[in-house]
Amino acid sequence: MISRVNNSGVGSAYTNNIASNTQKKEGASTTATDQNSSKVDKLKESINSGEYKVDLSALSKKMADELL
């Protein structure tokens, strides 16, 4: 036998699930942003201190590949 389902209960469960998933995605994007910021900060520091070295061979190969 099929019973009736309380629509408000189903709706609130669905809404709660969406909110939970949104919060998880926001937390993950914040972590990724923090990691990217840390990489950028490290690059800035190495450039400012003169320690950053460009791999000219890899750069020229990449440029040539992009042109082909």
1 SS3 class: coil
Is the pTM of the predicted complex or chain greater than 0.95?
no
Q: Where are the domains of the chain?
A: 13-67
Q: What is the mean pLDDT of residues 4-19?
A: 57
Q: What is the pLDDT of residues 15-62, one digit of tens each?
A: 566 666 666 666 666 677 888 889 999 999 999 999 999 999 999 999
CA distance to 1, 22, 63, per residue, from 57 (Å): 73, 44, 10
Helices (H), ranges, the chain: 7-49, 56-67
